[in-house]
Every structure is written in C-alpha cells, then in structure tokens.
C-alpha cells in the first residue's frame, strides 16, 4: 500500500511478506487467517504499533481484545517494547476485562451499584442453588449444574429470559428460574461473567450517545483468537464498529476448540459477509516445527470439510519422523513415556521443553505416577488456581462484605465460617425473613430472634465494625485486620492441615501488596481510576494521554460528548479494584512454577504454547476423539481440530501413543487406536511398535456392538509388566481361530483377524465387509461360527 513507508519503518523489518501485508493494510476491515506458529501475536502487536507510528491515531483510538489475561499482558509488554507509548492509555484486555472497565465507568446507566462485584463460576453455581432453594425447584428434574449451563448458554447467545424460545413445560420452568436468578443478582448487586458482556452490549446497543461516543473513539478494533468468539461477543464487536471504524480480526478456524462453551467458528464467515471484508490474508509460513510435524498436521486437518482452507509450510527441513507407539496398558504407555523422557533429559533437552498432552484430566494420574516413581520433576496444569482455593474464597467473601453488605453469596459463605454457632436452621430463618421484606440477608438480621438472632447479630456487628475500622487503611492493612478479626487465621491455626492454608492467606496479602504497588494498581487496566480512561482522555490532548511527544498529534477535534457518569472523576477504591482483579484473573495455577519440570496438561490448555518435544497420549477411540463428541459430525471435526492443535505444539519431536487397555473410572476399557492415526501421512511416521491394529469404518458408535467398557478383575500391572512386548498371542478355549468366518447379528458375516485375552477378557478383531474391522469382546458379542 505504502511501499516507501513500509520499507522505511523499522517495525516491519523482521516480517515476511504476508505478515507485512497484514500489518500495513489500509484502515478497513480485515480478516487474518493465522495458522499455528505463524507469528499471529507479532502481527497483531506490530499492526497496532504501525498504526500509531503512522500518526493518524493515538493510543486512545485503539481497542484490542483477547481471551486470556495472559495474552493481553503479552500484547502490552510487546507493544511497550516496540513503541515509546503509554500502553495503559489503550484499551487492551480481555472481553470481560474491558466490559468490566466499561461498566465501571457507566454503572449508573447500566443500572448497577458502583460497587458491583463479579461472580465467578463457583459463585454463580451457589447463587443458582440458592435461587432454586428459595423457589422450591426440584433439583432432581433440574440439576443446578444444568441450569448454570443453560443460563450461561443463553447469555452467550445474547438472550434475556424473555427472548428465549420456549418449547414445552420444561423450557418454561428453566426460563423462569433464569429470570429469578437475574432478579437475585440484580438485588444483590452482582454480575456473572456472561452478564458483564451482555450488559455492556445492551448499553452500547440501546444508548445512542454512549455508542456514538465509543464508536468515534475506537477507530481501530483488533481481535485476537477470533475463532473463539461467541455470538454475543460478535454482536458486541458489531455494535461497537460503526461507520469509519476498522475491525482487524485474527484467527484460525482450524484451532477452534471451544464450541462446547459457545464459540462459533461461523463468526469468521459471518464477519467477512456482514462487514463486507475486502482484505483477507493467510499467514501460512510456520516458524515453529519441522515439516514432518507440519505435514502430519496438514494432512490430518484436511479431513475436515468445514474449513476456510489453509496449509502450513516451513523452510526448516523434514526433521525427525513422528514417533508412534502402541502400549498394552495405560501404565505401560506411561512407563514407556517416562523412559523416553529420561533419554531426552540425558541428551540435554530441558525438562520444561517436554510436554505431555492428554485429552482429559483423568488421564494425568497414570502419567504422574510414572514420573513420580522415576523421580522426574513435573508440573501439572489445570488444577485449582489461586483465587479459587477455599480459604482464599473465604477471605475474599469477607472483603466483599466490607465493600457490599448485600452480597448474599459472600454472606452465606462466611456467616458460619469459621463456625460460630449459626447453623442451617438459623440461616433458613434469616432467608425467610429476608425474602419476606425483599431485603438482603445482612439487612434482615435484626428481624431474627432468639439465640440464632443473637449469633447472627454478632456476626453482622463484626462485619460492620470491621468496615468502620478499616476505613482509610491501606489494602494490606485492611486484609490484615480482616484475617485476624474474621477468625480465619485462628481457625486454620487450630486445624491439622491448616498450615498450607495460612500460607496461602499470607500469599493473599502479598498479592494485594504487589497489586497496589506494581505501577499503580491498574496494571491490568481493570482497576484504573475511572477518570483516567473515562472522561479525562476525551478532553485532553494526545500528549497528555501518555503518548510519546515525538509522535504526531491526532488531527481530529476532540469529541464533544462526554458520557455522563464517567464524568464524576470517581475512582474505584483499592479494595474494590483488588476484588475485581481477583474475580477476573483467577491467578496462576498452583505450582512448582519456574522449576525445571516436565509439563503435563490437557490439549486444550496447551493451545498457544509450544515445546521442543511433545507427547500426545491416549490416542484412542472414545477418548480422543472423545465418545461424547462423536454424536454429531461437528463434534468429530472439533476433536480433529483439537488433535491439530496438539500436533502443532511440537517444534522438534512429536510422539503419538495409544494403549490397548486403559483403567478409567475404576474399570478397564479396551480401546481401539484413534482414527486420527489413519489420517496422518505414512511417510512422516515411524512406528516404534508393529503397526497392527487399524480402525475400520466410521459407523463406530454407541450401541454398535463394540464393548467399550467392561469390568475386569485382573491386575493389569502384573499382566503386562513389560512395555516393550505388546501381547499378540492368540488364546484358545472359545473355539475361534484367526481366519474363521463368523456371523454377528448387527454386522453380518466377518472374518476373524486376531484373538487375544482369555476367559471373560477374550476379544477378537473381526473384519466385516461393510463395517470394517472391530474388536469384539467374546463374552458380550453374539457371534456364531459360519462353516
């Protein structure tokens, strides 16, 4: 577009032609299809830097959205390194973080209290349970989890209760509960994650001045991981992007793995159509992996029908072949993996550059045991995170009550914790009293009588006293006072296992401390004083926004409209800001973080990461692809994308393994190797064990005769002690022999290929002309020999 500029700008120096083209696109809507390892984040950040360096806009005109705090932080860091710009003046953050920021600035118009608090998933569930109890909802017919799923789903689709399509009595009831839950949240001044998005969206949609203001302001909207946006987020973007704005969406449809939580890959196609996108650029140059790995990924994903189409390429050579291993048992698989890891470590591969991936968390146990016994340090991702721990939630509940006494969820969490003689009956009485007057539990306390009333009154008095005493204290002091006065510290001191919890509570003090000191407590933008990103920016010149003075000024008159309640100059108290921070950023995973350790995680949580060596384990039908996803074709495609993500995590070496049997949910399951093996290019693979089984037809499914789950009594560790020798011995006694013809009621006539096991465990691989090869348990399958 601007060749001279492009050639001159040092920003563009290290970009390939595709990346450069993307970065320097004109101010119009664009979709960047960025394959795995193609420098997506780099393009996104350089685009922002480039826009700013052109001098036509200032930092205040940029809105950049990501899905995780981690991604947002990284973007800010990189941007800060690229340009001498105050990144804090920009709206860079997660969807939820930005919506929070928006609602904090316009709380009045959004019909929220200025102190509104955010419910995380746990809080939401307990709030729903409370609604159900208060309204006598049958939790047999309507499990709370299901309702939570339903409510979140509605919000993700942008649907208020009155907009949900109702078909039948059950729907009607669900919507009714949804409404009751909404009322309760409103009454208590809390919002769940979905609500943050939905309410922001509605305010933008319905309030013309507000919408116009932000439209005028955010000239450039950039979105990361666009394939993961849900319906509501898409609508939010659409309402924000008016005339003259440009939306720069970066995504990879092949890495869309969150449909189960509302993500719509279709948003990419919709975007192109509805925004009349004229610029689409594919980033297909991969800088991560060798070509055997990339070929595998490409070949696999080509089996998906619904894709926009993209092929990764690399300048690096073929590299090592992809190693495939078949184990007899999950334990043997783990043992083999541990052995390989030891070799790698011996060859100076850093442990942190080795990742073991699996489809579901339940699979980590065997792997952990293996590594543990071998004395290899490892780190498991995906456990409880810091702010989700019970003791932290308790402490936060106290803090939230200081901020907002009407927060009934927090009230109930700590009213009797540590125990202070307020049991279920007292609480019930209190809830009745509160319901009668429509007040919060806190306010209803004075209506209760008797011993229960005394205890409750003492509790409320304690909270209220704490609130007064902490007035004007620093955040650290507030938390110290709270920890003492609430009795939490004393309680855990008395508890046998309390030491670690106390440590965590102390860590909370540290977290608060660093939250306050770290470059003002607005590092993550969420906690910035309203003034700084609300009204002030609009009226001041770009240079006072922290824009580097050497950059040209914006040649545009200041917008004339200032949103009403952003104009108060009001700031969030450090405590409120910290609580918001705790809700929006659940904290690091627990860990031996920083330690040199092998990385264990699900494929989902590996997205966005890369390692020199990757093991993908448990590649078995029913597990990966998961049998729950096989119900529909879309589900299978998502599983395949998941596999694609798994493969593309590896830089140098990739291992794929599966096991013939696996202990799952206390039962031994016989598993056929994943169909994904058949979708990989043979030339790129190296079979470490004889390639014997193969997955047959696609008619594999529920009730199709394959006995996936059966209880067995043998101790698998003893039966298959050696990982090197898969048992391929035939067992007699059932009268079948390889080569025999048999008849099956569902699959018809077939030929016995292989036999193994004995007694109840005996099974046979049988080739059916129309249904392919199947492993059948002889004690279950109805087989008749055919002469």
Catalytic annotation, pick one of 18, 20, 24, 40 = 40
Closest distance of CB 666 from DNA, Å: 3
Closest distance of CB 716 from DNA, Å: 11
Closest distance of CB 553 from DNA, Å: 34
Neighbours of 419 (CB within 10 A): 9
Pure H helices in 486-597: 488-494, 498-517, 530-533, 536-539, 574-584
Query: Of all helices (H) and strands (E), which one includes residue 323?
Result: strand 322-329
Of the pair 408, 773, the CB lying nearest DNA is at 408
Rounded alpha-carbon distances, angstroms, from residue 638 to 31, 67, 257, 630: 21, 19, 6, 10
Of the pair 344, 614, the CB lying nearest DNA is at 614
Nearest CA-CA partner of 61 in 271, 241, 238, 249:
241
Of the pair 384, 725, the CB lying nearest DNA is at 384
Closest distance of CB 72 from DNA, Å: 8
Closest distance of CB 100 from DNA, Å: 8
The verdict on whether 41 is a catalytic residue reads: yes
Neighbours of 632 (CB within 10 A): 9
Question: By the 8 A CB rule, do 450 and 456 touch?
Answer: no
For residue 137, what is the DSSP state? -
Q: What is the 3-state secondary structure (H, E, C) of 562-584?
A: CCHHHHHCCCCCHHHHHHHHHHH
Of the pair 68, 719, the CB lying nearest DNA is at 68
Half-sphere exposure of 318 (CA within 13 A, CB side): 7
User: What are the φ and ψ backbone dihedral angles of 776, each rounded to 5 degrees?
Assistant: -125, 140
Query: Of all helices (H) and strands (E), which one includes residue 485?
Result: helix 475-485
| Residue with tokens 């334990």, as numbered in its chain | 331
| Residue with tokens 């993961």, as numbered in its chain | 228
Closest distance of CB 772 from DNA, Å: 23
Catalytic annotation, pick one of 156, 188, 192, 225 = 225
Rounded alpha-carbon distances, angstroms, from residue 765 to 112, 671, 678, 712: 63, 12, 17, 19
Contacting positions for DNA (CB under 7 A): 67-70, 94, 96-97, 120-121, 129, 139, 193, 257-258, 260-261, 359-362, 382, 416, 419, 421-426, 452, 584-586, 601-602, 604-605, 626, 628-629, 635, 639, 663, 665-666
Of the pair 667, 745, the CB lying nearest DNA is at 667
Of the pair 383, 759, the CB lying nearest DNA is at 383
| Residue with tokens 């009831």, as numbered in its chain | 173
d(CA 424, CA 123): 19
d(CA 203, CA 192): 16
Closest distance of CB 42 from DNA, Å: 20
Catalytic annotation, pick one of 649, 675, 763, 774 = 649
Catalytic annotation, pick one of 41, 536, 568, 571 = 41
The verdict on whether 117 is a catalytic residue reads: no
Rounded alpha-carbon distances, angstroms, from residue 234 to 48, 95, 257, 271: 21, 11, 17, 8
Closest distance of CB 593 from DNA, Å: 15
d(CA 223, CA 205): 20
- ω into residue 418 within 30 of 0, thus cis? yes
d(CA 685, CA 45): 36
For residue 656, what is the DSSP state? E
* Bridge partner residues of 265 (DSSP): none
Question: By the 8 A CB rule, do 698 and 633 touch?
Answer: no
The verdict on whether 649 is a catalytic residue reads: yes
d(CA 108, CA 331): 58
Question: By the 8 A CB rule, do 525 and 92 touch?
Answer: yes
Q: In this structure, is the dihedral angle defined by the CA atoms of residues 258, 260, 262 and 267, taken in order, positive or negative?
A: positive
User: What are the φ and ψ backbone dihedral angles of 616, each rounded to 5 degrees?
Assistant: -110, 115
Closest distance of CB 63 from DNA, Å: 16
Nearest CA-CA partner of 746 in 700, 779, 696:
700
Of the pair 27, 368, the CB lying nearest DNA is at 368
Question: By the 8 A CB rule, do 97 and 139 touch?
Answer: no
Closest distance of CB 508 from DNA, Å: 18
Of the pair 180, 277, the CB lying nearest DNA is at 180
Of the pair 362, 374, the CB lying nearest DNA is at 362
Nearest CA-CA partner of 407 in 715, 123, 79:
123
Closest distance of CB 686 from DNA, Å: 29
The verdict on whether 179 is a catalytic residue reads: no
Nearest CA-CA partner of 521 in 88, 182, 98:
88
Query: SS3 for 739?
Result: coil
Of the pair 192, 403, the CB lying nearest DNA is at 192
The verdict on whether 225 is a catalytic residue reads: yes
41 is in an annotated binding site: yes
145 is in an annotated binding site: no
Question: By the 8 A CB rule, do 677 and 334 touch?
Answer: no
Exposure b/e, 484-494, CB count within 10 A at least 16 = b: ebbbbbebbee
Of the pair 401, 582, the CB lying nearest DNA is at 582
d(CA 787, CA 784): 10
The verdict on whether 208 is a catalytic residue reads: no
421 is in an annotated binding site: no
Catalytic annotation, pick one of 156, 224, 295, 637 = 224
* Bridge partner residues of 750 (DSSP): 742
40 is in an annotated binding site: yes
231 is in an annotated binding site: no
Of the pair 200, 246, the CB lying nearest DNA is at 200
Closest distance of CB 579 from DNA, Å: 14
Q: In this structure, is the dihedral angle defined by the CA atoms of residues 620, 624, 627 and 631, taken in order, positive or negative?
A: negative
| % helix, strand, coil for the chain, step of 5 | 50, 15, 35
Q: Which residues are catalytic?
A: 40-41, 224-225, 255, 649
Residues tagged in the binding site annotation? 34-41
Residues tagged in the binding site annotation for ATP? 34-41
């Amino acid at each position: 577009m601007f060749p001279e500029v492009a050639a001159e700008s040092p920003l563009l120096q290290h970009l390939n032609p595709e990346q450069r083209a993307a970065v320097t696109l004109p101010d119009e809507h664009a979709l960047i299809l960025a394959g795995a390892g193609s420098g997506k984040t780099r393009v996104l950040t350089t685009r922002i830097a480039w826009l700013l360096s052109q001098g036509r806009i200032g930092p205040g005109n940029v809105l950049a959205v990501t899905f995780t705090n981690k991604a947002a932080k990284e973007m800010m860091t990189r941007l800060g390194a690229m340009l001498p710009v105050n990144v804090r003046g920009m709206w860079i953050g997660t969807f939820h973080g930005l919506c929070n920021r928006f609602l904090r600035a316009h709380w009045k118009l959004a019909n929220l209290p200025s102190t509104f608090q955010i419910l995380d998933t746990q809080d939401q569930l307990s709030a729903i349970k409370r609604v159900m109890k208060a309204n006598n909802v049958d939790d047999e017919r309507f499990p709370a989890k299901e309702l939570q799923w339903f409510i979140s789903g509605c919000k993700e689709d942008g649907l208020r209760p009155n907009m949900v399509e109702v078909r039948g009595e059950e729907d009607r009831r669900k919507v009714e509960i949804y409404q009751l839950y909404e009322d309760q949240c409103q009454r208590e001044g809390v919002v769940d994650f979905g609500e943050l998005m939905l309410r922001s969206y509605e305010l933008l949609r319905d309030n013309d001045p507000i919408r116009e203001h932000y439209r005028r302001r955010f000239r450039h909207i950039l979105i990361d991981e666009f394939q993961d946006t849900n319906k509501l987020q898409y609508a939010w973007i659409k309402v924000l992007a008016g005339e003259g704005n440009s939306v720069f969406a970066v995504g990879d449809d092949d890495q869309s793995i969150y449909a189960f939580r509302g993500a719509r890959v279709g948003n990419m196609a919709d975007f192109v159509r509805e925004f009349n996108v004229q610029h689409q650029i594919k980033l297909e140059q991969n800088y991560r992996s060798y070509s055997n790995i990339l070929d595998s990924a490409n070949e696999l994903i080509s089996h998906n029908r619904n894709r926009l189409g993209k092929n990764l390429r690399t300048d690096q050579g073929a590299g090592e072949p992809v190693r495939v291993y078949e184990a007899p048992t999950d334990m043997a698989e783990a043992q083999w993996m541990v052995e390989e890891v030891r070799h790698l470590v011996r060859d100076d591969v850093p442990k942190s550059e080795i990742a073991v991936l699996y489809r579901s968390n339940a699979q980590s146990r065997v792997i952990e045991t293996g590594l543990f016994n071998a004395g290899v340090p490892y780190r498991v991702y995906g456990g409880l995170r810091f702010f989700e721990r019970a003791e932290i939630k308790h402490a936060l509940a106290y803090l939230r009550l200081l901020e907002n006494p009407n927060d009934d969820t927090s009230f109930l969490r700590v009213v009797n914790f540590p125990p202070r003689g307020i049991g279920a009956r007292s609480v019930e009485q209190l809830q009745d009293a509160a319901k009668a007057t429509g007040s919060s539990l806190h306010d209803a306390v004075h209506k209760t009588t008797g011993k229960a009333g005394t205890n409750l009154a003492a509790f409320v008095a304690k909270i209220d006293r704490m609130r007064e005493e902490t007035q004007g204290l620093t955040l650290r002091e507030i938390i110290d006072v709270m920890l003492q006065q609430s009795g939490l510290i004393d309680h855990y001191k008395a508890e046998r296992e309390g030491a670690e919890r106390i440590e965590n509570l102390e860590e909370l003090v540290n977290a608060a401390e660093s939250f306050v000191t770290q470059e003002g407590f607005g590092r993550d933008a969420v906690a910035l004083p309203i003034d700084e990103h609300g009204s002030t920016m609009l009226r001041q010149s770009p240079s006072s926004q922290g824009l580097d003075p050497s950059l040209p000024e914006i040649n545009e008159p200041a917008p004339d409209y200032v949103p009403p309640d952003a104009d108060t100059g009001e700031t969030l108290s450090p405590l409120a800001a910290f609580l918001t921070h705790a809700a929006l950023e659940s904290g690091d995973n627990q860990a031996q973080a920083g330690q040199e350790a092998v990385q264990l995680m699900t494929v989902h949580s590996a997205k966005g990461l890369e390692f020199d060596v990757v093991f993908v384990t448990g590649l078995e039908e029913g597990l990966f692809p998961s049998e729950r996803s096989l119900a529909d074709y879309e589900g299978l495609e998502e599983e395949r994308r998941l596999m694609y993500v798994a493969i593309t995590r590896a830089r140098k070496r990739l291992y794929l393994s599966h096991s013939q049997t696996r202990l799952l949910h206390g039962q031994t399951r016989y598993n056929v190797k994943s169909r994904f093996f058949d979708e990989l290019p043979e030339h790129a693979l190296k079979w470490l064990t004889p390639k014997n089984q193969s997955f047959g037809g696609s008619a594999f499914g529920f009730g199709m005769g394959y006995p996936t789950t059966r209880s067995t009594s043998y101790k698998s560790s003893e039966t298959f002690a050696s990982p090197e020798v898969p048992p391929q011995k035939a067992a007699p006694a059932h009268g079948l022999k390889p080569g025999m013809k048999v008849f099956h009621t569902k699959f018809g006539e077939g030929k016995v290929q292989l036999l193994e096991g004995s007694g109840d465990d005996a099974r046979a691989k049988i080739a059916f002309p129309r249904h392919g090869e199947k492993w059948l348990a002889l004690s279950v399958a109805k087989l008749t020999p055919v002469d």
